[in-house]
Structure 1
Amino acid sequence: MYESILVPTDGSDTAELAADHALALADAFDATVHVLGVVDVEGEAGPFDVGGVDDEFVGRLEADAEAAVDSVVDAVGDRPVETAVVDGDPADAIVDYAAEEGVDLVAMGTHGRTGLDRVVTGSTSAQVVRESPVPVVTVRDVDGSLSTEYDDVLIPTDGSPAAEVAVDHGIAVADAFDATVHAVYVIDTMALAGGADTTMAGGGGGVATGDLLEPLVSSGEDATEGIAERAHDAGLDATTQVVEGSPGSALVEYVDTESIDFVTMGTHGRTGLDRVLLGSTTERMMRHASAPVLSVRHENPE
């Protein structure tokens, strides 16, 4: 599935944590590791100060980027590794490198340095997910540690083509780590609340019954069972669940309550009353889920 994995780094704690997960995935898939440092002169100095930047300042940024790259290389061990330090906007540089070098996966932190010496930021990771030609694993710092032993892998689905593109990736990761697959379908109760023939339980505690709910429960069961069958075909254990709620919040809660170690999801899903996975849901997972999130971007043919 993954023959080469790109690890952008700025030397921050979150970037180092993402590198740990990238190396775990590289070991599991026997992949070559690419380590990238980006010298963002304009971002560091500010757009109005670039003209006054001297060689010493640029040299300091380059030295910091090289040191960040070297720190990851030291952790790679005997695995094949390629390195690069480039100039430019971090998100653009990461996306361009992924395309030009033909890597199969990007793994990066969701937040990097702050203040004048920042390189990789939350907005950078979101932009990379939106524009990357390959799937992106984002890792946020959760009390300084996240297990790189993936025992439980979550694959959210709404049955749409956008969700389907992530299923193969989720099963591949689960297979590499011999993990249990969790297939989850979220019925968006906020979208259903204004629909006809819908009864809210407890005066708004969730959709209880109605013409709109029943077919979605059936669709959810079909979608999750389909993933479970594919997991079983790969020799993996699998569990399915159809839940109600706001998709982003429900999935974040599921990650916590079920001690999920890794999430694989599409970046876009259905729209309208039966939507589940949207770009906003993916970004919420990136910001709040206590597990790495592998986002697979779906190209809308429209």
Structure 2
Amino acid sequence: MDKIHVAMDESDASQRALMLGQLLSRQLALPLCVTSVVAGEERVEPRRVALQSRLSEQQAEDTSIEVVVHASAKDYLGQLAGREAVGLCMMAHGRRPVPEMLIGSVTAGVVRRANRPVYLCGPRFDVDSHREVKVLMVCVDGSRLSEAILPHAVALSKRLGARLQLLQVIDTAAAAAVPLDGGHADVMESGYVHGLARRLRSEHDMDLDWEVLHGDPADSIVSYLADCQDTMLAMTTHGRSGLSQVVAGSVSHEVLHEVRCPVAVLRPADVG
């Protein structure tokens, strides 16, 4: 990652993404760019003026602005977020009850297209409680899907100088309903996350810790994070398209809606 981009429009909500971008830019010592997508050339200058005003409010006048004309904000930002050199920050909206609207249709589309982590702040994001990332907390559940974010999390934690923590929630009822060949049998064993931590220590020569919670996954994660400060959560999503699906995953969209910390969300490329 060589540059932090913040996806913004003229809304108040998108200004929260700027705060997250500033946090990562400062901690990683990377340049920051505000990126906005408009449908036609006639919207370029008005959008630039509006963004300059937003940056002035945040005393961030030196931040570069990139206004791009493109037919699809989802496509452009998804391609941008998919670049190894880019870290993209976005605001996730908190609308109910349609699952996709919990993170916003554009944000959901970007996550589906990027196949790399997208850095999101939900409607409850509290920048005063999370001024830097001292702990990078990674949700795992015994599945290949959840573990797909680990290489990204390991690399990011080292660059941030943050402590890596594995977080597992054992939901007995849910685990019992999953077929044994679904990759979740290990969830019922307390040794799963311990063994995973041991493997990561050995492979990456790093110190990390882990925590096992019990109960409903989303509720347990939100409750655990309630009093945490200077933390980022990292998790994967199945990211299926269509409003009939839970676009951000039954756990991740609820977590994103409730937590006060930023969340790095990955939709792995091999998810169907």
Q: Above 0.5 in TM-score?
A: yes
- Residue 99 of structure 2 corresponds to none
- Structure 1 residue 250: Cα displacement: 1.8
Q: Does 1:279 align with 2:262?
A: no
Deviations 1:208-256 (A, max 9, x none): xxxx78853222332244446667x34x5x3311222222222222211
TM superposition shift of 1:108: 0.5
CA contact (8 A) 1:19 1:72 kept: no
Amino acid at match of 2:12: D
Mapped pair 1:150 → 2:150: no
Bigger shift: residues 243-252 or 28-37: 28-37
Distance 1:83 1:138, change over 3 A: same
Q: Which has the larger radius of gyration?
A: 1
| Residue 3 of structure 2 corresponds to residue 21 of structure 1 | no
Q: CA deviation at 1:155?
A: 1.0
- Give the aligned partner of residue 83 of structure 1: 66
Give 1:34's aligned residue: 33
Query: How many residue pairs are counted as aligned between the two chains?
Result: 249
Matched residue SS, 1:13 = coil
> Does 1:239 find its partner at 2:215?
no
Structure 2 counterpart of 1:187, from 170, 190, 203: 170
Cα gap change, 1:96 to 1:300, in 2 (>3 Å): closer
- Relative to structure 1, the CA distance from residue 220 to residue 16 in structure 2 (aligned partners, 3 Å threshold; closer, same or farther) is same
Post-superposition offset of 1:87: 4.2
Unaligned runs of 5+ in 1: 42-57, 114-120, 196-211, 270-277
Q: How does 1:199-238 map to 2 (within 5 A)?
A: 215-227=188-200, 233-234=205-206, 236=207, 238=208
SS across alignment from 2:132 = coil
User: Which of residues 87, 94, 116 in structure 2 aligns to 1:105?
Assistant: 87
Q: TM-score, normalised by structure 1?
A: 0.67
Give me the whole-angstrom Cα distance separating, in 2, the residues matched to 1:32 and 1:10: 20
- Deviation at residue 106 of structure 1 after TM alignment: 1.2
Q: Deviations over 1:19-75 (max 9, x none)?
A: 12212222333334332212358xxxxxxxxxxxxxxxx95x545522343356665
Quote the Cα distance in structure 1 between the aligned partners of 2:94 and 2:35: 14
Distance, in Å, in 2 between the alignment partners of 1:279 and 1:225 is: 28
Q: CA deviation at 1:107?
A: 0.5
C-alpha distance in structure 2 between counterparts of 1:17 and 1:111, whole Å: 11
Q: Give the distance between the partners of 1:103 and 1:214, measured in 2 at CA.
A: 34
The ranges of structure 1 where at least 4 consecutive aligned residues each deviate by more than 6 angstroms after the TM superposition are none
Cα distance change, pair 93–285 in 1 and its aligned pair in 2 (3 A): same
| In 2: Cα distance, 1:295 partner to 1:34 partner | 20
The verdict on how the C-alpha distance between 1:173 and 1:143 changes in structure 2, with shifts beyond 3 A counting, is: closer
Q: Which residue pairs with 1:298 in the alignment?
A: 268
C-alpha distance in 1 between matches for 2:199 and 2:168: 12
- Distance, in Å, in 2 between the alignment partners of 1:219 and 1:144 is 32
Give the 3-state SS of the residue equivalent to 2:124 in structure 1: coil
> Given that residues 126 and 283 in structure 1 are in contact (C-alpha distance below 8 angstroms), is that contact kept between their aligned partners in structure 2?
no
**Does residue 248 of structure 1 match 2:218?**
yes
C-alpha distance 219-27 of structure 1, shift in aligned 2 (>3 A): same
Structure 2 counterpart of 1:10, which letter?
A: D
Distance in 1 (alpha carbons) for counterparts of 2:104 and 2:233: 18
Structure 1 residues 138 and 193: alpha-carbon distance in aligned structure 2, compared to 1, 3 A threshold: same
1 CA distance for matches of 2:186 and 2:200?
21
Query: Which deviates more, 256-265 or 213-222?
Result: 213-222
| Cα 1:69–1:217 shift into 2, 3 Å | same
1:119-134 alignment, distance < 5 Å: 122-134=104-116
Matched, 1:289 2:262: no
Equivalent residues of 2:25, 2:32 under 8 A apart:
yes
In structure 1, the partner of 2:117 is 135
Shift of 1:138: 0.6
Contact 2:121 2:262 in 1 (8 A): yes
TM-score, scaled to structure 2? 0.73
Aligned mates of 2:172, 2:202 — CA distance in 1: 27
Question: Quick one: distance in 1 between partners of 2:200 and 2:147?
Answer: 9
Residue 64 to residue 144, structure 1, CA distance change in 2 (3 Å): farther
